[in-house]
Amino acid sequence: MKLTGFTRRGLGRLCLLWLLVLTGAAAQAAATTPVPKVQVPGKSSKPAKAVPPPKPVLTPPAGNLVIIGGGLRAENAEVWQRIVMLAGGKGARIGVFGSASINPESAAQATVNKLNQYGAQAFAIPLGVTWPNSDYRKAAEDPEVVAAIHSATGIYFTGGDQARITRALVRTDGSHTAALDAVWDVYRDGGVLAGSSAGAAIMSTTMFYDAKSTLDMLKQGVNEGHEIAAGLGFIGEDVFVDQHLLVRGRFARMIPVMLKKGYQIGLGIDENTAMVVNAKRDVEIIGYSGALLLDLSAAITDRGIKGFNISNATISYLDRGDKFNLVTREFTPSPDKADNKLDPNQPDTREPVYTNDILGNNAVLDLMVNLIDNAQQDAIGIAFGNPRDFNPELGFEFRFSKTINSVGYSSTEVEAYSVLKLRMDIRPIQLQQPLYRYR
């Protein structure tokens, strides 16, 4: 049959109509029928996770930290005066937390009296786990306590047990109490936060909690909730802080914690001495002694060696008056050392350097100072315990070595040194038992 033009046009329209009907039906089916999930072989199908909202951007704190290694004496005017000056000078309102002490009221008042001797108008903050006739949970949320903290331009945490500080200021679910938020507000607004001993331990995000002896931590390791717990983190997430360092030989206990928690930089401050950390993250050492700086950024451990070990750690001693920037890693010697850099080609001594008690009082500093101005290229220190201690045959060798980056400075005014970038390797050793016999 021969189709006319009209018939062709009608047939085309009819086909188009059917096509539109079928397309609409398919679209409706697609809208009402769930799309089957594609199964990937070897993987279970899981719904996509929601994208979390962005975290609020907080302005870096504008204030200063004064981190004291404990044992701060009343006559150490340099440290006390610096705290008062950073809080605003004469008449500065400084709130004192005695929370770490078993007797927080008297501990706080003693520090208030010392600060006032140096020109402050300090006051005690009535908050502590053992504060008499008080519920510390309610006190940490009390508007009057919070208002008192906000009225201050400086905060001071006394010594004692750092766990009492965090217990008083952190809720059981880990969130900040109103009092702790107020402390942060003081710091962010340019105030000074100072802390001695336990008050220094809380400055990093991790702190020692129920710590064993240094040697036992090297032998047995550290565990969350036992040897270490969460601190308050005022210095930032990238620096670990310890105190009573040289007097108690604690530098070695910092290392297993730093390895476990991923810290590259550790600062350990000695007694009657302070580190002042400003908003630019410049660290200045003031007071009686100095601080040890540990850098584990290039350190490695050998899994083939049974027991704690580390190689290629870097250790430095920052003396009073020295400065170090935590961002640029630049060191500035104190003015009395600036023009007296040690010449490695003209060493002062040539005798071997060794100690059989590297964890003793100031032993590590004595060894470092004796090595940096010596023709010898390395020094050895040994650590071991009492024959009646746990695993008495296990000890550790600490080897300190000079590298092309090692530098020393000597004071032109007193017998004092700064020692930079010695390599430190630690490995377990087997001791003969008994260690000695009677002749």
- Which distant-in-sequence residues (6+ apart) come within 8 Å of 110 by Cβ? 158
Give the pairing type, strands 123-124 and 94-97. parallel
Mean pLDDT of 196-215: 96
Range with lowest mean pLDDT among 9-23, 95-109, 415-429: 9-23
Range with lowest mean pLDDT among 108-112, 153-157, 218-222, 397-401: 218-222
pLDDT at 426: 98
- Which distant-in-sequence residues (6+ apart) come within 8 Å of 141 by Cβ? 177, 178, 179
Between 433 and 328, residue with greater pLDDT? 328
3-state secondary structure 366-419: HHHHHHHCECCCEEEEEECCCCCCCCCCEEEEEEEECCCCCEEEECCCCCCEEE
Share above pLDDT 90 across residues of the chain, in percent, rounded to a whole number: 82
Between the CA of residue 301 and those of 124, 295, 309, 314, 381, what are the distances in Å? 47, 14, 6, 14, 19
Of the pLDDT bands very low, low, confident and very high (cuts 50, 70, 90), residue 416 is very high
Q: Which amino acid appears at position 6 of this protein? A: F
Mean pLDDT of 190-197: 98
Between the CA of residue 62 and those of 31, 66, 81, 234, what are the distances in Å? 56, 14, 20, 12
pLDDT at 56: 52
Residue 12 has pLDDT above 50, yes or no: no
Q: Is the CATH number of domain 64-332 3.90.1150.10?
A: no
DSSP codes, 278-310: -TT-EEEEEESS-EEEEE-TT-B--TTSSS--E
Q: Which residue has the tokens 């109490």?
A: 177
pLDDT at 90: 97
**Cα separation of 127 and 421, whole Å?**
42
| Boundaries of every domain in the chain | 64-332, 353-430
pLDDT in tens, 333-365: 999 999 999 999 999 999 999 999 999 999 999
**Cα separation of 335 and 338, whole Å?**
5
pLDDT in tens, 131-189: 999 999 999 999 999 999 999 999 999 999 999 999 999 999 999 999 999 999 999 99
Between 410 and 32, residue with greater pLDDT? 410
DSSP codes, 145-209: HHHHHHT-SEEEE-SS-HHHHHHHHB-TTSPBPHHHHHHHHHHHTT-EEEEETHHHHTTSSEEE-
- Which distant-in-sequence residues (6+ apart) come within 8 Å of 385 by Cβ? 213, 215, 216, 392, 395
**CA dihedral for 351, 361, 301, 259, sign (positive or negative):** negative
Q: Which of 164, 46, 148, 165 is nearest to 95 (CA)?
A: 148
Mean pLDDT of 94-116: 97
Give the pairing type, strands 239-242 and 265-269. parallel
**Cα separation of 208 and 206, whole Å?**
7
pLDDT at 25: 44
pLDDT at 33: 40
**Cα separation of 140 and 21, whole Å?**
70
* Burial class, 203, CB count within 10 angstroms (exposed 0-12 / middle 13-18 / buried 19+): buried
CA 181 to chain centre: 20
**Cα separation of 411 and 418, whole Å?**
8
Of the pLDDT bands very low, low, confident and very high (cuts 50, 70, 90), residue 58 is low
Of the pLDDT bands very low, low, confident and very high (cuts 50, 70, 90), residue 326 is very high
pLDDT in tens, 234-284: 999 999 999 999 999 899 999 999 999 999 999 999 999 999 999 999 999
**Cα separation of 188 and 186, whole Å?**
6
Whether the model clears a pTM of 0.95, i.e. scores above it, the answer is: no
Residue 34 has pLDDT above 50, yes or no: no
Share above pLDDT 70 across residues of the chain, in percent, rounded to a whole number: 87
Of the pLDDT bands very low, low, confident and very high (cuts 50, 70, 90), residue 40 is very low
